[in-house]
Amino acid sequence: MAEELEDLGRRVARRFIVRGVASRPSHLAGEMGVQVTYEQSPPAAQPRLRSEYRADPPRILLYRDPIEELAAAIHADQRFDMMRCDLAEVHIAHELFHHLESGGRFGPLTAEEVEAAAHGFAQELMALDFHPAEFSRLLG
């Protein structure tokens, strides 16, 4: 099931890849009227939250401290595949799927299913060689 949903995310991402060139997630967010803002730290209840999507008005919040913690873990682990990617853009891509999905546009999905699809979307749009869920595993 998770695999089917990752495929759904990938298919949606392909709408934004024209002749092999993917739109930059931050650019897409602007086009879709989704504001992207940075904050230093996440809400106290979710200290490891790196990003989130909020509707009304649609916006993506990126949290610098946990993203920097991830960057440090990537370097410590010498994950050269991950070092090549723009972490902020990967997180914006993931949250953009939440925006596209908001209102249940792809049918009724559980939170886990939406996560799987959002990972597939980000992986395809950013042409990642690794699965985005590996970020969380890297942090232990």
Beta bridge partners of 63: 39
Closest separation in Å from C-beta 33 to Zn ion:
20
96 touching Zn ion, by CB under 5 A: no
Closest separation in Å from C-beta 57 to Zn ion:
19
Closest separation in Å from C-beta 133 to Zn ion:
10
- Residue nearest to Zn ion as judged by C-beta position: 118
116 touching Zn ion, by CB under 5 A: no
Closest separation in Å from C-beta 60 to Zn ion:
11
The Cα–Cα gap between 136 and 54 comes to 21
Residues 115, 7, 30: CA angle, nearest 5 degrees: 65
The region of 6-14, 35-43, 118-126, 129-137 touching Zn ion under the rule CB under 5 A is 118-126
Nearest to 96 by CA among 109, 82, 84, 114: 114
5 touching Zn ion, by CB under 5 A: no
- Number of alpha carbons in the 13 Å side-chain half-sphere of residue 43: 5
How many angstroms from the chain centroid is the CA of residue 136? 12
118 touching Zn ion, by CB under 5 A: yes
62 touching Zn ion, by CB under 5 A: no
Coil/strand/helix, residue 70: helix
Q: Would the CA dihedral through 7, 13, 17, 21 be positive or negative?
A: negative
Q: Which is nearer to Zn ion, 74 or 93 (CB)?
A: 93
Beta bridge partners of 30: none
Q: Which is nearer to Zn ion, 28 or 118 (CB)?
A: 118
**Positions that interact with Zn ion (CB under 5 A):** 115, 118
